[in-house]
Structure 1
Amino acid sequence: MARASQLVGLFLVLCASLLWGPAALAQETPRVMGEPVPHERALSTERYQDCGLRKRAVNASVSHRPVPKQSREASATIEVDYGENFTTEAEDAFERAVDVWETHISSPVPIQVQASYEALGEGTLAAAGPNFFYGVDATGNGETDVFAGDALTDAIVGEEANPQEPDIVVRVNNQLNGPGDWHFGPGDAPEGTIDFTSVALHELGHGLNYIDFFSVDQERGEYPSNTDGESRILGTYDRQVVSNDGELSYRALTNTSFYPNPSDELGSALTSNRVFFQGEASEATAELGTGPALPKLYAPGSFAGGSSIAHLDEDTYQPETQNALMTPIIDQAETNRLPGPIMCGQFRDMGWPLGVGCEQYFQDLFAVSVQEVDGQSGSRTLSWSEANDANIQEYIIDRRYFGGSFEEMKRVDASEVAGSSLTVEDLGLGAFEFRLRWVRENGSTASSPERVRDTVTVRDVSTTITGRDEQGRGTVDLSWTVPPGTSSDFLYRVERRTGEEGAFQPVATVPQDGDASDEQSKQYTVKGQTPGRYEYRVRAQDGAGNAVTSAAREAQIDFEGDVYALGPYPNPVRETASFDLTAREPQSVQVEVYNTLGEQVYAEQREVRAQDPTSLSIDASQWASGMYFLRLRGDGSVGQTKKMIVVQ
């Protein structure tokens, strides 16, 4: 990470009443203003190569790790292009950090990361930041309000501002050796090692806009401005940075009435050890810990390029606290794989849409999920996490059926809920979306922004080969179970696919026998099935055309040899002889017909897919009445020879 330098020709003015984040976005559609500015122009190149995260040869032996991912649905997609030097174990460790951020932020646009694993020198662990910065009109007045990096800009605007370029550039040092070497594993970092995943999580945070434009040169503080010194580049992070004068009053460091740009006054504030991050969400999350009312930033008496301002204060947020990830020092054996509440608050104040990992700090209920219920076909359990001070009186589960309107399905008094879960029974077949609402003790209501989805389809689909006829054709019994609560207007279409690559085709339709108040078993029998491989599935469809489809089940009707022919039919043959061909492996099959004199009267080369019966029709209208012999020759082997009678 780095600090600001003079930037000629850019003009960005902060509006005194600037709105940013959810309140502003609900009013206007934000948009990008002007051309993207490469990070080399917005920040000094030298400092951009070092984010100021330092290792300390002290074993913290602490661990902050996320809950299992299955309870948190990803709300962002982060795609990483790893450089050629990245080892497999380093990639795996980096991906664990990616997984965490994908559940803590939300973006409709995939976030592209370019990551390299290279020599950065002994004092540097890693470096990261946005690749470009953009002026953003957040209020819709046609003027640039604030400056943001790639990923945040894309998330706010809702589209890729610069699709040809990565959004975040990360460089990780591959030269750590001896004490303080990298720990790549999924478990806690042992003593004497630095946790690679924790560092990657920290650096990705900088790339997601945890970055400032301030700098100090010979006691004069500044941030980028154009040549006339009036218009200023103001980042989403910078506008939240305030200084405390010791009397519980805070002044924005971008307020030029108190801190001209550049000025000694600004330089003094940046090195005062009294710098904080001000914002409604940041203040709310700071209250969850034991620190000051506002998140305190790292601002030592000697300005530390790459470390000052864009980190939380190390002394205030020690490794054992839940807000230690973004401090400028990481200890050995410090496993910190969670952004923490304060960082989530800062992201919210900067305008980031949040995922459930961060939303938990701002809601009564969060991390809602849905699971099947063992032994209860058609039932689902909704589970959630709950804030300690939620004070909920009543829970409500709403259901949406096949994309229709939400309807209340269950309402339960909080005193009757054991743990943080509720089960809804007898849903019947359908594609469902569930919403959890609640009523607080003061009578106010709220709803989780998370919508959990699940599909209930027929269960226990099975196929059984129950017999063979004299020609080797099989009988397939297909059975399935219909869950209770299923409407009487459902029909069940049996579909079949031959071989391994064919499309599913309808075979038959089975009606519903009244409302399925109890679980129902259904069956359909397919006779005369040519040897080969098949897959069967059941597509259940209601009267409105809504449908759910079961998983497919295989039915294998075996045969002898490498190539098999079923037929001819009809037999005797009059004009056309029809056969079904099946091959054990994909191959080219030579089809030949000979008369009783050994003369070849027909030949064809046919490509046959594995276990996929294919039809063969031979025109016999010009042949004399009598006996003929069909011979099949596969690749490297002789298949069957079959007799057929032609009658003219």
Structure 2
Amino acid sequence: MIDFTSVVLHEIGHGLNYIDTFNYTPSNERGGYGFDFNDDGQITGNERSAGPFGRRLAKKQSDGKFPLLTNESQFFNPSQKLGDALISDSLFFGAEGASRGAEIGDGPTPPKMYAPSNFQDGSSIAHLDEETYPPESPNALMTPRIGTAETNRQPGAILCGQIRDMGWLLGAGCRQYFQEVFAVSVRKVEGKSGSRMISWIEQDNANIQEYIVDRQYFGESFEEIRRVDASKVSGTTLTVEDLGIGAFVFRLRWVKEDGSVETSPEQVRDTITVRDVGTTITDRDEQGRGTVDVSWTVPPGTSSDFVYRVERREGEEGAFRPVGTVLQESDVRDEQTKQYTAERQTPGRYEYRVRAQDESGNAVTSTSRAVEIGFEGDVYALGPYPNPVRETASFDLTARESQSVTVEVYNTIGERVYRDQREVRAQDPTFLSIDASQWASGVYFLRLQGEASVGQTKKMIVVQ
């Protein structure tokens, strides 16, 4: 069977201008190039183009030189001499990128093209040489034939160089062959808050003199944050410390022996925010409500213009909402621990997180940390408050399991003056309020009845 993916990739290569306009006439052994747009057998003017691929084809001569086939002082178009070149088995792709790719891979430099003595329409010229780059070799994708079970799913260094020579921008898989440095990445430094390690892959014999790490902060311009002599770099990693809080983009530059500076096209993103967010229940009041201490660590290098907005989510769903703000008075030189205390928290499940924001509005948010304030029974109810009630009676409700809760109010003679039904999610503290402004002064009884819980009755006094 023929590998479908390999065939598709091969044809994509042709779609990237890996095609030629050369022709060969066996009857007069003449070769030429160009587009016969009028189909009149004449190729003149702008039609005499070899295309971006053909302009880089060259014939190897006995003296070792490689004149281009489009050099009409050597190969007039059309001519028998040009025809001889097209079936010479000595055609090469004479361009810088392809030659560098050939140095990395297998075969001669520059890379050899397919030009057998028997000209083959559709195969000759616009393929790499079949014998030089055999099946399954690194550069076999663009040879003219594919065998049964042969798989070629990588472009190879030569094809990468050829499409680079023809003007295409290269992706990371191809760029690695044409840069001293490629595949830049960033990772955290164990045990060092706010530090990052920049690592990269480097070509052999790159001869780099200096490395430069640039940082972009929240989309601003790149700025240099570290420059190191290459002789002082161990391996291919550099550590940058005390970055502080922020959303960053890192890039690597390097200085070559001739003093020129090159920049890796790879840019890597990373975010540093507060870490070690923790939640602790430190106290319970007589009504079962809890005091929650939220703490976090600020990394060194964080500037004093950051504030920390503590956000809370009730239950397991819904949005986070701000509940408090903690200021920062000075730049952080060493790791710094901060804390916020949330008092009188109704039993249930909460999640807390910290949003660090600077004076310009740039912000990053920490991961969240859950805390659960427990309670006895199936339903916890606090209230009504205030009691006595003048206008509105409020109470907090938490159910252990999701259920529908019926809220009813009765007067002293047993008349029901209020009824409502609320859907309460499991462990999600719920605030309820009742409008009592139209009720007469007196004693009332509030009854809560859930689907899966025992009913509760609370006394309520209304004063108008």
TM-score, with structure 1 as normaliser: 0.62
Q: Counterparts of 2:391 and 2:223 in 1: how far apart (Å)?
A: 63
1:628 alignment partner AA: F
Partner residue of 2:390 out of 566, 574, 594: 574
1:206 and 2:13 aligned: yes
Judged with a 3 Å threshold, the aligned counterparts in structure 2 of structure 1 residues 556 and 339 are, in CA distance, closer, same or farther, namely: farther
Q: Counterparts of 1:475 and 1:564 in 2: how far apart (Å)?
A: 17
1:471 is matched with which residue? 287
How far apart are residue 464 of structure 1 and its match?
2.5
Listed one character per residue, the Cα deviations across residues 141-180 of structure 1 (whole Å, up to 9, x for unaligned) are xxxxxxxxxxxxxxxxxxxxxxxxxxxxxxx6xxxxxxxx
Q: Counterparts of 1:410 and 1:326 in 2: how far apart (Å)?
A: 43
1:626 alignment partner AA: V
Q: Secondary structure at the match of 2:100?
A: helix
Q: Any conservation in 1 of the 2:17–2:53 contact (CA below 8 Å)?
A: no
Listed one character per residue, the Cα deviations across residues 326-357 of structure 1 (whole Å, up to 9, x for unaligned) are 33455688765532221111121222211232
2:36 is matched with which residue? 225
Higher relative contact order (CA 8 A, sep 6+): 1
Q: Counterparts of 2:245 and 2:262 in 1: how far apart (Å)?
A: 29
Partner residue of 1:273 out of 75, 89, 97: 89
Judged with a 3 Å threshold, the aligned counterparts in structure 2 of structure 1 residues 354 and 238 are, in CA distance, closer, same or farther, namely: closer
Judged with a 3 Å threshold, the aligned counterparts in structure 2 of structure 1 residues 327 and 533 are, in CA distance, closer, same or farther, namely: farther
**Structure 2 unaligned blocks of 5 or more:** none
Q: Any conservation in 1 of the 2:60–2:91 contact (CA below 8 Å)?
A: no
Q: Counterparts of 1:204 and 1:237 in 2: how far apart (Å)?
A: 17
Judged with a 3 Å threshold, the aligned counterparts in structure 2 of structure 1 residues 251 and 414 are, in CA distance, closer, same or farther, namely: closer
More displaced, 572-581 or 298-307? 298-307
2:280 alignment partner AA: T
How far apart are residue 596 of structure 1 and its match?
4.5
Q: Secondary structure at the match of 2:449?
A: strand
1:592 is matched with which residue? 408
Partner residue of 1:508 out of 324, 340, 349: 324
1:557 is matched with which residue? 373
Q: What fraction of aligned residue pairs are identical, expressed as a percent?
A: 60
Listed one character per residue, the Cα deviations across residues 562-610 of structure 1 (whole Å, up to 9, x for unaligned) are 6554321112323211123445565544332234544322112334455
Partner residue of 1:645 out of 433, 438, 460: 460
1:633 is matched with which residue? 450
1:318 and 2:134 aligned: yes
1:541 is matched with which residue? 357
Question: What is the aligned residue count?
Answer: 451
1:471 alignment partner AA: Q
Q: Secondary structure at the match of 1:389?
A: coil
2:382 alignment partner AA: L
Correspondences of 1:160-239 after superposition (within 5 Å): 199=6, 202-203=9-10, 205-206=12-13, 209=16, 211-212=18-19, 219=26, 225-227=36-38, 228=40, 229-230=42-43, 232=47, 238-239=53-54
Judged with a 3 Å threshold, the aligned counterparts in structure 2 of structure 1 residues 541 and 617 are, in CA distance, closer, same or farther, namely: same
1:365 is matched with which residue? 181
Judged with a 3 Å threshold, the aligned counterparts in structure 2 of structure 1 residues 225 and 614 are, in CA distance, closer, same or farther, namely: farther
What value does the CA root-mean-square deviation take over the aligned residues?
3.5
1:422 and 2:256 aligned: no
Q: Counterparts of 1:460 and 1:277 in 2: how far apart (Å)?
A: 58
2:57 is matched with which residue? 242
1:327 and 2:143 aligned: yes
How far apart are residue 486 of structure 1 and its match?
1.8
1:432 alignment partner AA: F
Partner residue of 1:605 out of 403, 408, 421: 421
Q: Counterparts of 1:335 and 1:390 in 2: how far apart (Å)?
A: 32
How far apart are residue 503 of structure 1 and its match?
2.5
2:13 alignment partner AA: H
Correspondences of 1:361-440 after superposition (within 5 Å): 361-440=177-256
Q: Counterparts of 1:621 and 1:454 in 2: how far apart (Å)?
A: 55
Judged with a 3 Å threshold, the aligned counterparts in structure 2 of structure 1 residues 206 and 644 are, in CA distance, closer, same or farther, namely: farther
Judged with a 3 Å threshold, the aligned counterparts in structure 2 of structure 1 residues 487 and 300 are, in CA distance, closer, same or farther, namely: same
Judged with a 3 Å threshold, the aligned counterparts in structure 2 of structure 1 residues 419 and 647 are, in CA distance, closer, same or farther, namely: same
1:300 is matched with which residue? 116
Judged with a 3 Å threshold, the aligned counterparts in structure 2 of structure 1 residues 622 and 366 are, in CA distance, closer, same or farther, namely: same
How far apart are residue 396 of structure 1 and its match?
2.0
Q: Counterparts of 1:270 and 1:498 in 2: how far apart (Å)?
A: 77
- Which one has a bigger Cα radius of gyration? 2
More displaced, 610-619 or 208-217? 208-217
Q: Counterparts of 1:217 and 1:413 in 2: how far apart (Å)?
A: 57
